[in-house]
């Protein structure tokens, strides 16, 4: 798909990163990020969120309860902060490295939640044909796009 | 240094074990499990999942632990093919910090004593 061929993120000589996203994609992110923020803040025990806040002690429920008691708020704050940065910088033409790392984290979080909802498996081919009238067609498209942008971010940070 | 054990990383932004990040309280002593032996090191495992991209996981390992691209790639492949891999080891306090940072990056990490 030609849409996926041009580099979306590019390291520039001044140590920043150029964001070459079309307006619709920026808008999409500016819409998705606050949605995830709201979901996290709801604390409603939404199943797809569990992937963002996993257990730390697999073999010790008591130790894990203690760990979560101490660390959960920090993890929530960290996740919300990265989503805030995406919203704040969504319309910018460039971002700092720290901001791009926040983008990476936020976009991965969106993938995790969406991927959990779509129940993706390792054999899912991102570009597979999903019928236009499939009820989750747009969700698969968004998931594929998030994956693509994340790959671009990792490549840019590694460059 | 035993394989998989990593004290400090150069160029990463990890907080040294003696100075917890602001707002966190690191558990100093085992408080709950009466059979915890303080002399046995703790290991941090990362588990395979169908969502995280291989390039992303590799990058996170490099970023958080200062591993070379080769080592990070090998660890990622171990996670992918074997279902899980040990990514770091050390004190309980260090393991909790590593687990936290891995969770921040969306990886599924757990800790346990290396028996």
Identify the helix (H) or strand (E) that includes residue A19: strand A17-19
- Least Cα separation, residue A5 to chain B (angstroms): 18
ipTM score for this prediction = 0.89
Inter-chain residue contact B51 with A66, CB threshold 8 Å: no
Instruction: Check residue B105 and report its DSSP letter.
Output: T
Q: What is the pLDDT of residue B11?
A: 36
The answer on pLDDT for A23 being more than 80 is: yes
Q: What is the pLDDT of residue B13?
A: 34
pLDDT digits (tens, 9 = 90+) for A61-89: 999 999 999 999 999 999 999 999 999 99
Q: Distance between CA atoms of B32 and A56, rounded to whole angstroms?
A: 15
Q: What is the pLDDT of residue A46?
A: 77
Q: Which residues of chain B have pLDDT under 70?
A: 1-36
Mean pLDDT of A52-67: 94
Give the contacts of B97 (CB within 8 A, at least 6 positions apart): B14, B15, B17, B20, B26
Confidence class for position A117, pLDDT limits 50, 70, 90: confident
Q: What is the pLDDT of residue A118?
A: 87
Tokens 């990792």 belong to residue: A154
Q: B115 or A12: which carries more pLDDT confidence? A: A12
Identify the helix (H) or strand (E) that includes residue B104: helix B92-104
Q: What is the pLDDT of residue A124?
A: 56
Instruction: Check residue B32 and report its DSSP letter.
Output: S
Tokens 């290991």 belong to residue: B43
Phi and psi at residue B42, in whole multiples of 5°?
A: -100, 140
Average pLDDT of chain A, as a whole number: 89
- Least Cα separation, residue A149 to chain B (angstroms): 11
Inter-chain residue contact A108 with B96, CB threshold 8 Å: no
- Cβ atoms A107, A143 nearer than 8 A: no
Q: B35 or A118: which carries more pLDDT confidence? A: A118
Mean pLDDT of A10-35: 94
Q: Which residues of A touch B110 (CB under 8 A)?
A: 54-58
Give residue ranges of A with CB < 8 Å to any B CB.
51-60, 62-63, 66-67, 70-71, 73-75, 77-79, 104-105, 108-109, 111-112, 115-116, 120-122, 124, 147, 150-151, 154-155, 157-158
**DSSP assignment of A134-155:** STTHHHHHHHHHHHHHHHHHHH
Q: B14 or A8: which carries more pLDDT confidence? A: A8
Inter-chain residue contact A57 with B110, CB threshold 8 Å: yes
Q: Distance between CA atoms of B60 and B65, rounded to whole angstroms?
A: 8
The pTM is what?
A: 0.81
């Amino acid at each position: 798909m030609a849409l996926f061929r041009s580099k979306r993120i590019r390291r520039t000589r001044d140590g920043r990163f150029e964001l070459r996203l079309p307006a619709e994609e920026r808008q999409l992110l500016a819409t998705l990020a606050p949605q995830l923020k709201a979901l996290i803040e709801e604390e409603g025990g939404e199943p797809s969120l569990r992937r963002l806040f996993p257990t730390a002690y697999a073999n010790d429920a008591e130790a894990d309860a203690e760990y979560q008691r101490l660390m959960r708020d920090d993890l929530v704050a960290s996740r919300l902060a990265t989503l805030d940065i995406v919203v704040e910088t969504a319309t910018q033409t460039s971002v700092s490295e720290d901001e791009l790392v926040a983008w990476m984290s936020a976009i991965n979080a969106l993938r995790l939640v969406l991927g959990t909802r779509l129940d993706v498996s390792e054999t899912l081919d991102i570009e597979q044909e999903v019928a236009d009238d499939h009820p989750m067609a747009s969700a698969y498209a968004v998931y594929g796009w998030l994956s693509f942008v994340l790959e671009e971010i990792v490549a840019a940070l590694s460059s | 240094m035993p394989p998989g054990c990593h004290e400090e990383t150069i160029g990463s932004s990890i907080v040294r074990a003696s100075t917890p990040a602001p707002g966190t309280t690191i558990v100093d002593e085992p408080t709950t499990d009466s059979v915890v032996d303080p002399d046995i090191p703790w290991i941090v495992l990362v588990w395979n999942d169908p969502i995280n991209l291989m390039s992303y996981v590799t990058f996170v390992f490099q970023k958080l632990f200062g591993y070379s691209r080769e080592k990070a790639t090998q660890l990622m492949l171990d996670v992918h093919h074997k279902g899980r891999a040990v990514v770091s080891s050390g004190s309980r306090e260090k393991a909790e910090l590593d687990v936290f940072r891995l969770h921040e990056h969306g990886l599924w990490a757990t800790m346990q004593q290396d028996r």
